[in-house]
Amino acid sequence: MRVLARELRLRTRLEPVAEPSTVGPIEGALFETPFLYVAGEGALPKLDDEAEQNLRRFIDLGGLILFDAADGGADLAFTRSVRELLGRIMPGSELAPVSGEHVVYRSFYLVDFPFGRTQVHDSLLAVQEEGRLKVMLTRNDLGGALAETESGLAAYPCSPGGSDQREWAIRLGVNILLYATCTDYKADRAHVETLLRSRRWK
């Protein structure tokens, strides 16, 4: 997230804090941001009722939760536990593939694949209600693609696309945070045409 914050400052007009905050689900600080990033391998830790109610309230107030499977598609335990958690805090909701036409793929860059450290899964999953993505799940280890060592080198190789794949993952991360901040205001037709002219990157 430090890398993504840096890239947001360099590439956009957003001014995120330099040091991301770590918050627990029962802390008041949870409600001081529109974006919550949860990454891990294996099953999520069990949360008590208060924690789950707070996550539900965070979503209801307009927050976006991004779950990131750090296994990169090798283990389904994280994805399964995210589904179970959402079944409790958002009864009746379901994670479903996000259409390639959704504004999250063009909120700043034109991105056509959910790039991460791997390319195992070809879609983002999300809970979408009333036109808004409330929860997203990336399964190609987005965080692993963004991570850097203390010397500023990539912490993990991106396979199979190497440095180009890492750049696309950064762009996807920028798009997601722009969406979390601005939702769908960039879905208007004029903006789409501007993107098509000036932001396609090969």
Query: Domain boundaries in the chain?
Result: 2-198
The architecture in CATH of the region 2-198 reads 3-Layer(aba) Sandwich (3.40)
Cα–Cα dist 128/2, whole Å: 27
Say if residue 84's pLDDT is above 70.
yes
* Residue 127, Ramachandran bin (φ over 0: left; ψ between -120 and 50: alpha; else beta): beta
Say if residue 194's pLDDT is above 50.
no
- pLDDT for residue 33: 85
Mean pLDDT of 114-134: 95
- Count CB neighbours of 96 within 10 A: 12
Q: Tens of pLDDT along 95-115?
A: 999 999 999 999 999 999 999
Cα–Cα dist 82/94, whole Å: 11
Mean pLDDT of 143-157: 97
Portion of the chain with pLDDT greater than 70, in percent: 90
- Average pLDDT for the chain: 90
pTM of the model: 0.89
* 64-69 β-sheet, strand order: 35-40, 64-69, 132-138, 125-129, 96-97
Q: Tens of pLDDT along 24-66?
A: 999 999 998 889 999 999 999 999 999 999 999 999 999 999 9
Of 191, 170, 192, nearest to 9 by C-alpha is 170
Q: Which DSSP symbol is given to 148?
A: B
- Asked whether 25 and 3 are in contact (CB, 8 A), the reply is no
- pLDDT for residue 79: 95
Confidence at 15, pLDDT banded by 50, 70, 90: confident
Position of tokens 């009722």? 49
